[in-house]
Amino acid sequence: MKFNDYNLHPQLQKGIEKAGLKKPTDIQFKVIPHILKGEDVLAVAQTGTGKTAAFAIPVLHQLHVQKQRSRRQDGVRCLVMVPTHELALQVAEVFDKLGKHTAVKTLALIGGVDQAPQIASLEKGVDVLVATPGRLFDLISQGHMRTSRIQMLILDEADHMLDLGFIHDIRDLQRKIPRNRQTMFFSATINGRIKKLAYNLVSKDAIRIQFSPKDPVSKNVDHFVSFVEMDDKRFFLERVIREHSNSKVLVFVRTKVRAERVAKAMERVNIESLTLHGDKDQKARNEVLNTFKRGHIQVLIATDISARGIDIPNVEYVVNYDLPDKAENYVHRVGRTGRAKNRGQAVSFCSPDEKDMLKEIEAFINKPIDRLEVDSLEYKNMRLMSDESGMTLKDMMKEIEEIEERDRKKRK
């Protein structure tokens, strides 16, 4: 099966080919025909399987064909709602890339930036609007955003959207947009409560498509966990980074404060890193992501703000410095590696207080995580040494080797 088998418009096919897409992934193969037929869809699939293109391709086809038939089409006709600014920019980029040769215009509508250029773009004409809820509802209330022409409503990372409490806003939006529309939900994880909410928002005949429900994580990811004390995690993070100095390493922590503290700890041992969290303004967050994506700096320390749906090329290692508060967030975190056909490694540091969460994570992904045993002598010496001493891990390991050598001589 190839994309041209769907009888897509040649201008769209041209964009697909230039994007390097040759044949549909499983989720694309299943979803695209239903969207082209105008059916409501609830799709659940692992991260990194191409969900964005699965809805972008049929949407672009339909909207481009409409514009070719009638030049008088105006107003937003497809609204894609996403939970984070970063995801909005990424989804809009996919639409722009695939639809480069079509007549379809896309805009990312996010908060944290000046709204004047966004309003100007809306006035010039936008077909696909990729939006976060806050800025969207602001512009609707100000009268800058018309909803009467919307034909398609897409919720990306739908479970997160509904779980964040946006359900009341979404229901309010439903009352403002035409009833005769197509509604689509896409996510990597979904539970019973969220599923019930989702089905209340789509038609009774909605198509449900779900892949690998027993294994929500890509088979391309290898999982490991080490049991360490909370205060010792920085030593083990340093080791991972130094042992894989040519690899991109994405590190997840629980809070904004911890992100900065871990970055400072790495700085003290001469490891350069970036941080990404909610205290940074949108411009700074964009700069951080772009710098990391380009590989100018190989280590990014982030909170869960960047776990949802963000596609960062060639991340080889995801480190859960802190285990997530929710087991399902583990899936979204480790989904930043092992994307498409690439392999990836997920390494978690588990303190004694986090062992219950580890059990929940293993139950959620339906398999145990392989244990990485830490040599007792190595660990003992690492615990005795504080990073305040200014010692690097290399120095520590050298001292450990000297201790072992003295022990061997004594035994002789």
Tens of pLDDT, residue by residue over 368-400, are: 999 987 766 666 665 555 444 444 445 545 554
- Check pLDDT > 60 for residue 412: no
Residue 153 located in a structural domain: yes
Residue 411 located in a structural domain: no
pLDDT band at 335 (very low <50, low <70, confident <90, very high): confident
Q: Minimal CA–CA distance to 88: which of 224, 220, 317, 285? A: 285
Q: Which range, of 79-83, 117-121, 202-206, averages the lowest pLDDT? A: 202-206
Question: Would you call 411 helix, strand, or coil by DSSP?
Answer: helix
Average pLDDT (227-238) is 91
pLDDT at position 24 is 92
Percent of the chain with pLDDT over 90: 51
Q: Which range, of 47-56, 114-123, 244-253, averages the lowest pLDDT? A: 47-56
Residue 405 located in a structural domain: no
Q: Minimal CA–CA distance to 310: which of 348, 330, 339? A: 339
pLDDT at position 198 is 76
pLDDT at position 210 is 78
Are 53 and 189 found together in one domain? yes
Are 182 and 239 found together in one domain? no
Residue 404 located in a structural domain: no
Are 163 and 287 found together in one domain? no
- Check pLDDT > 70 for residue 73: no
**80 or 174: which carries more pLDDT confidence?**
80
- Round the CA-based radius of gyration of the chain to a whole number and report it: 24
Are 97 and 237 found together in one domain? no
Residue 381 located in a structural domain: yes
Task: Report how many domains make up the chain.
Answer: 2
- Check pLDDT > 90 for residue 22: no
Cα 343 to Cα 220, 222, 242, distances in angstroms: 5, 8, 20
Question: Would you call 354 helix, strand, or coil by DSSP?
Answer: helix
- Check pLDDT > 90 for residue 308: no
Question: Would you call 353 helix, strand, or coil by DSSP?
Answer: helix
* Average pLDDT across the chain, whole number: 85
Are 27 and 77 found together in one domain? yes
Are 234 and 315 found together in one domain? yes
CATH number of residue 267's parent domain? 3.40.50.300
- Check pLDDT > 80 for residue 162: no
Q: What is the domain extent for residue 392?
A: 221-397
pLDDT band at 171 (very low <50, low <70, confident <90, very high): confident
User: Is-contact 142 73, C-beta < 8 A?
Assistant: no
pLDDT in tens, 235-245: 899 989 999 99
Are 24 and 138 found together in one domain? yes
Crossing angle for the helix pair 282-294 and 85-98, nearest 10 degrees? 60
Whole-model pTM: value is: 0.74
pLDDT at position 105 is 96
The H or E element containing residue 252 is: strand 248-252
Are 119 and 234 found together in one domain? no
Cα 354 to Cα 150, 228, 247, distances in angstroms: 46, 10, 27
